Amino acid sequence: MKRTTALCTMMVLLFCTADSMTRRSLEAQVKKVVLHFFYGRECPHCKKIEPEIESLVKSNPRLELKKYEVWYNKDNRALLMRMAKERGKSAQGVPTVVIGNDVYLGSDMAKIRDLAAKNTRK
């Protein structure tokens, strides 16, 4: 009886460990798409959408969020200008989202969600 209980316990632990490892392996295989969020520290539009962008990224396992403050950080400002130029756009202000080949200036979350969906399709 004790052997049977011990054997069952070991099998359950083995299956749980294998399942956990398989899930982590599959998650590692999912290629992340980076959503670059450029903002200004005191920008009210940026503050309004930042939690919504964070929520969007948390709800989509294919998205990764990188945030850059551009009003006080000249390196981040230069990065925004370079990324926009590489995509044939010009950096006009904040909030700006860069995802894939898309650059969006504005705070319309429906448009940002659409860009995220477009860029995370398999």
* Residues 110, 113: Cα–Cα separation, whole Å: 5
Q: What is the pTM of this model?
A: 0.76
Which residues sit opposite 33 in a β-bridge?
63
Pick the residue with more confidence: 86 or 28?
A: 86
On the question of pLDDT at 35 being above 90, the answer is yes
Quick one: pLDDT band at residue 118, thresholds 50, 70, 90? Answer: very high
Which 3 state secondary structure label does DSSP give 103? strand
What CATH number does domain 33-120 carry, 3.30.420.40, 3.10.310.10, 3.40.30.10, 3.40.50.1100?
3.40.30.10
By C-alpha distance, which of 118, 107, 121 is closest to 53? Answer: 107
Q: Can you give the pLDDT at residue 88? A: 97
Q: What is the pLDDT of residues 77-100, one digit of tens each?
A: 999 999 999 999 999 999 999 999
Q: What is the mean pLDDT of residues 60-77?
A: 98
* Residues 46, 105: Cα–Cα separation, whole Å: 11
Q: What is the mean pLDDT of residues 51-79?
A: 98
Q: Can you give the pLDDT at residue 31? A: 87
Q: What is the mean pLDDT of residues 98-111?
A: 98
